[in-house]
Amino acid sequence: MSVRTEDRDGVLVITINRPQARNAVNAEVAQGIAAAVRRLDSEGSLAVGVLTGAGGNFSAGMDLKAFLAGESPSVPGNGFGGLTEATVRKPLVAAVDGWALGGGFELALSCDLIVAAEDARFGLPEVSRGLVAGAGGVIRLPQRLPHHLAMELLLTGDPLPAGRAAEFGLVNRIVPSGQSTVDAAIELAQRVRRNAPLALAAVKQIVRASQGVDDATAFTAQRELTASLASSEDVREGARAFAEKRTPVWKGR
């Protein structure tokens, strides 16, 4: 199975399982990731997803051999790897070991949070192959890094060490060598999971709706997206739990 899933106490761990190919993305991987994020969004017991790779690497990107054989590494509506153009309602954390190259880096950029091993490397080498990082790299990287650093990576194809990525806020947590990035990602995911699921989904929607628009448009979108949130059971539960000095019990409605 090229993509494994495991429910870790409400956190769905999604593992690209092609270590012999450095977890390169072929059609089976793309379909597997797409199915996993559909499961994440559809099952009420799941709150957060963690995307990782088996065998010491996150992903080397597109499987060129599979591509030349006629396989598509994309899923209609979801984009490359079944993820880069998908609208995933629940939060996603990337747990990155080793290399996240090309489409692998773009998969990580599609996640909301990134946890990386201290020796992890990120890179978009597409220009060295006559291509561009068209699965979100050219679009998202300049939004996440200072302009000139993003352009250096895009124009040279040189890799970015995890430590430097963390300095610029691209990585949320650095995990020391020998420790599990998945465990650290699950710990962060569980911190996110304490919060109200409708509110988490609303945050993601508002962030998406406000990108590239003026403040007035962004506030209009926010009002529309939060109108139903204000009357939800979870909002009342949050207020009661605060007043009663207890942990909220979220219902997602």
Q: Is residue 249 part of a domain?
A: no
Question: Known catalytic residue: 106?
Answer: yes
Residues 120 and 231 in one domain: no
In a domain, 252, yes or no: no
The reply to whether 21 falls in a domain is yes
Mean pLDDT on 233-246: 87
pLDDT band for 227, please (50, 70, 90 cuts).
confident
Residues 112 and 175 in one domain: yes
The stretch 200-217 carries a mean pLDDT of: 92
Q: What integer pLDDT is reported at residue 188 of this predicted model?
A: 98
- The model's pLDDT over 35-84, given as tens digits with 9 standing for 90+, comes to 999 999 999 999 999 999 999 999 999 998 998 899 999 999 999 999 99
pLDDT of residue 212 exceeding 90: no
pLDDT at 225: 84
- 208 and 183 in a single domain? The answer is no
Mean pLDDT of the chain: 95
Same-domain check for residues 28 and 85: yes
pLDDT at 238: 85
Q: Is the domain of 154 the same as that of 209?
A: no
36 with 73, same domain: the answer is yes
Q: Considering the domain boundaries, does residue 248 fall inside one?
A: no
Q: What integer pLDDT is reported at residue 39 of this predicted model?
A: 98
Over residues 122-181, the pLDDT tens digits come to 999 999 989 999 999 999 999 999 999 999 999 999 999 999 999 999 999 999 988 999
- Same domain for 239 and 114? no
Pair 24, 117 in one domain: yes
Asked whether residue 188 falls in the same domain as residue 71, the answer is yes
Do 206 and 232 fall within a single domain? Answer: yes
Token digits for 123?
A: 């890179």
Summarised one tens digit per residue, pLDDT across range 183-207 is 999 999 999 999 999 999 999 999 9
Asked whether residue 253 is assigned to any structural domain, the reply reads no
Domain count, the chain: 2
Residue 250 lies in a domain: no
Per-residue pLDDT averaged across 93-97, rounded? 98
Annotated catalytic residue 126: yes
Of the residues 126, 233, 237, 244, which is catalytic?
126
Both 73 and 90 in a single domain? Answer: yes
End position of a domain, from candidates 175, 193, 211:
193
70 and 131 housed in the same domain: yes
Q: Which of 6, 71, 85, 106 is catalytic?
A: 106
CATH code assigned at 128: 3.90.226.10
Range of the domain at 133: 3-193
